[in-house]
Amino acid sequence: MPNLIPQRIAPLFHNYHTEKMDVVRDAEWIILTILMSGTLEQIQWAFATYGWDRIEAVAHKDLAGLKILPPIVANYWSVVFWNRPLPPVSIKERWGTIRRIPPETMEDGADVLLGRH
């Protein structure tokens, strides 16, 4: 039997079938969602379920990778976990594209963009 999401956590996943979610399998997604939108009670559940180290690792992975957490939320958790705020976001980071598809050529990618292979 899967580890089901408790009823007090389910409202965060109102667009999903929570009965199909698994607390272990979907841990990173659940943790990020709770860090981003959870109430105090939901955050307490996450720490009791996953522990400080696991949640810290998920937050670190997000900051170093996809950056799913909004900057203000990421900054808050940076202060909580590492006792320091994140560096200010540059104009390029704030208004630029966060996720990029790497070019297929070693040059600037113009060949791929122009349809030349």
Mean pLDDT of 11-17: 93
The tens digit of pLDDT for each residue in 73-114 reads 999 999 999 999 999 878 877 777 666 565 555 555 444 444
- How many angstroms separate the CA atoms of 69 and 2, rounded? 27
Mean pLDDT of 64-80: 92
pLDDT value of residue 58:
97
- How many angstroms separate the CA atoms of 117 and 26, rounded? 39
Lowest mean pLDDT segment, chosen from 24-33, 51-60, 98-107: 98-107
- Token pair belonging to 31: 């943790």
Q: What is the pTM of this model?
A: 0.76
Calculate the average pLDDT of the chain: 85
- Quickly list DSSP for the chain: ---PPPTTTGGGGTTS-GGG--TTTTHHHHHHHHHHH--HHHHHHHHHHH-HHHHHHHHHHHHHTT--S-HHHHHHHHHHHHSSPPPPPPHHHHHS-SS-PPPSSSSSSHHHHTT--
- How many angstroms separate the CA atoms of 29 and 15, rounded? 14
